[in-house]
Amino acid sequence: MYLPEINDERTTLCKYLDVQLDAIRASAFGLDDAEARQSPLRSALSISGIIKHIVYCMKQSLSRAGHSEHDQPFEAFTTSFTPTEDESLEALLARFDAVRAEYMTMCREGDLESEVQAGPMPWYGLNEARPAKLRYLYAHHLEEFARHAGHADVIREQLDGAQAIELLASVEGQPANDFVTPWSR
């Protein structure tokens, strides 16, 4: 959790990105592979699918910021919400953790004024990538990660009633208090 404190712009953006990534990862806490693949809502979203998609987003950003080892075709976007049979929850989380470490290093070290390519976003009529400041990418990811953390919250509550704050408390080893009891099965 990022509690109020006085920080510079980069630190603030990075801490909020970390909070959203913590929430997404915590949504899988205590689930087995079959549970993480379930889509209990009308959409096809699952916890595993959200984790896979966020890895796609972080890799795209790393690639656009010059880390070519993360290049992936834009067509990979269409499959980024659905894990293959070979992509277990354990494997997805390991990939999430590894890519997240690189992504957060980029976030902490990148020049907010540097230009990167953003897009394409054909769902908004943007069919070609265009230049943007790295700051835009961070703000866009705050929106993207928060949206998907919310999706993960709803999916998880449908699966077993677990709530994000309880899951985070359990993951972080926090003791129970008057407001939150860490989740347990």
Average pLDDT on 10-14 reads: 95
pLDDT at residue 163, rounded to an integer:
94
Tens digits of residue pLDDT in 123-166? 888 888 889 999 999 999 999 999 999 999 999 999 999 999 99
What percentage of residues in the chain have a pLDDT greater than 90? Answer: 76
Report, at the CATH architecture level, how domain 9-171 is classified.
Answer: Up-down Bundle (1.20)
Q: Is the pLDDT of residue 119 over 80?
A: no
Q: Is the pLDDT of residue 120 over 80?
A: no
Token reading at 153: 């919250």
Grade residue 14 by pLDDT with cuts at 50, 70 and 90: very high
Grade residue 21 by pLDDT with cuts at 50, 70 and 90: very high
- pTM here is 0.93
Grade residue 121 by pLDDT with cuts at 50, 70 and 90: confident
Q: How far apart, in whole angstroms, are the C-alpha atoms of residue 118 and residue 120?
A: 7
Q: Which residue has the tokens 């890519």?
A: 99
Residue-averaged pLDDT of the chain: 93
Calculate the dihedral angle through the C-alpha atoms of 34, 37, 43, 49, rounding to the nearest 10 degrees.
170
Average pLDDT on 53-74 reads: 86
Q: Is the pLDDT of residue 168 over 90?
A: yes
Average pLDDT on 53-68 reads: 88
The set of residues, in sequence order, having a beta carbon less than 8 Å from that of 130 and lying 6+ positions away, is 117, 118, 119
Average pLDDT on 45-71 reads: 90
Q: Are 2 and 15 a contacting pair, CB within 8 Å?
A: yes
pLDDT at residue 123, rounded to an integer:
81
The verdict on whether omega for the bond into residue 120 sits within 30 degrees of 0, i.e. cis, is yes
**19 closest CA partner among 94, 78, 107:** 107
Token reading at 181: 């009891």
